[in-house]
Amino acid sequence: MDDTAPETPAAAPAPEAMPASTRLLLPVLQMMAAKAVHTAAELGLADLLAERPYSSAELAEKTGAHHGSLRRLLLALAGLGVVTQGDDDRFSLAALGQPLRRDAPDSVLGLVRLGCGPEVWRAWEHLLPSVRTGQPAWELAHGVDWLGFYADNPERAAVFHRSQAEHTRDTMPGILAAADFSRFPTVVDVGGGDGTLMAHVLSSHPGLEGVLVDLPSGLAGAAGRLAAAGVTDRCRVVGGDFFTSVPEGGDAYVLKEILHDWEDDRAVAILRTVRAAMPPDGRLVVVERVLPERAAAGPVEAHLYLRDLLMLTVTGGRERTEQEFHALFGAAGFAPARTSHPLPSGYRVVEAVPA
């Protein structure tokens, strides 16, 4: 009999203390973790576990999954801190897993289902040929651009629109503070989707009027979103194409994560449409991530440049430096006005005025 005390598992070393070969493999492990979380999202495990703890067998019955395989998934999720395993082999939803619930106030269910979903995952598989050819990986993967794909796949489009609303919700406190919409009697949200941004702006500024413009498909959830915020009577909803026209006469025109979806010539076309509708004293308010002028290593920089690769992969657009935004403004008839400090979300508010 071995009466020596059992070894205590060694704590994982900090990433900077790991050999380079080990650190380089961390993103691969993160990819595996992402797919585990995505599978949990697709099975609706968080919504089930929000009711009460369940055994793996009960969860397999409720989800129609293979029991042994589902239990292995649950153990991986427990290792990630998404669920916890009890002594009786019953699993509970951990604090980290709460945002996977559909009705959680900070739900990221749509973001997880989109970011690791089949259409985006398949596009990432074509990153290599995209880098070799310059063609967006999405088009190589699906034979159609992302807008065409979602027009043909309304169920997946609903996931996309939910993800955009979730992301906007989480970033609004910083945007509201940096943009100071109280300066403007009327704000036009160009490409504003279901109105999440506009609902926050109007709720924060009771005297302000809003105009929400997007393609009719993008506006599908706008009525409910604005009604829930109690701002329907102060927001006009307009179906339209920002390559063609936007409503005239606004004091501020907001473009949140619109320009990064497009290459320079198309981005300039959008800006020219806005410029044509804007009065001489109007202001352009662009909310985007801003790349540093020179690359450096670090978590913030890595996030920004990976977002740029995401644009190459999905939309064919790009993230830009401040100087690159200024070049777009100049080509569209604007003069740069100011750029905010980086927000906690990674965005900056970049403003311009008619030249």
Instruction: Classify the phi-psi angles of 208: left when phi > 0, otherwise alpha if psi is within -120 to 50, otherwise beta.
Output: beta
**Residue 12, CA distances (Å) to 16, 18, 141, 185 in order:** 11, 9, 38, 54
Residue 184 phi, psi dihedral angles, 5° rounding = -120, 125
Task: Please report the beta strands in 179-269, taking only residues with DSSP state E, as ranges in sequence order.
Answer: 186-190, 209-214, 235-239, 252-256
Catalytic site residue from 260, 303, 326, 341: 260
Smallest CA-to-CA distance from 199 within 184, 221, 178, 217 is with 221
Whether 260 is catalytic is yes
Those residues whose C-beta lies under 8 Å from the C-beta of residue 206, and which sit 6 or more positions away, are none
Distance CA 160, CA 152 (A): 13
The helix/strand/coil state of 105 is coil
For the annotated catalytic residues, the residue numbers are 260
